Amino acid sequence: MPVFRLEIAHIRAENEGGPRYDKGYGDPDVFDNLLLMCNMHHKMIDKIEPDRHPVDRLEGWKRAREAARSSR
């Protein structure tokens, strides 16, 4: 049985001061603002290198993953 070690990551932070926080975005828990990531990569984009992971890059990752999934 496979075991998935994934976390729900926010593209735009939930709270002010968080990485990529956008006051005007609205509800940060909407599906369009969420990514499934392993712990290591979640930490990388939020804590270690948040400046290297802007919103447009993360949204691109999300679109690519969803497109790959839907083409199966």
Q: Which two tokens stand for residue 59?
A: 């949204």
Map out the domains of the chain as residue ranges.
Answer: 6-70
User: How many residues are recorded in the chain?
Assistant: 72
Query: 23-64, pLDDT tens digit by residue?
Result: 999 999 999 999 999 999 999 999 999 999 999 999 999 999
Residue 36 and residue 9 in contact, taking contact as beta carbons nearer than 8 Å: yes
Q: Binning pLDDT at 50, 70 and 90, where does residue 69 land?
A: confident
